[in-house]
Amino acid sequence: MKRCVLALVLSGLALTGEAWAASSCPPGFAMLQSSDTCVRISGRVRADALVGTSRLRSADSYGTQASGRVQLDVRKKTEYGPLRAVISVGNLRR
């Protein structure tokens, strides 16, 4: 489902109006080949390891967990103004 939405967003960007003279993309973005669309893929990963001890050796405990997030940011200038699509997927907890 998420891949289908991503494909629809990117194909919609390819079909939007007149092309403009691309000067450059914002910092951190890359221009798609043969296009005036700028893309940035970013994300983060978090890993935790918890170790606990008490006076009783039988009550020692440990635990691990990992989480992350990936974000796709697409930008394109159109004749109606800038167009921006952001897709963020993840399970990052705070």
Give Cβ neighbours of residue 8 (< 8 Å, ≥ 6 apart): none
Q: Which domain holds residue 17?
A: 2-90
Reading the block at residue 36, the tokens are 């005036």
Which pLDDT tens digit goes with each residue over 31-80?
998 888 999 999 999 898 888 776 666 667 788 888 899 999 999 988 99
Tokens of 59: 């009550």
Based on the structure, what is the number of domains in the chain?
A: 1
More confident residue, 88 or 13: 88
Radius of gyration of the chain (CA): 21
Question: What is the pTM (predicted TM-score) of this model?
Answer: 0.57
**Lowest-pLDDT range of 5-9, 63-67, 75-79, 89-93:** 5-9
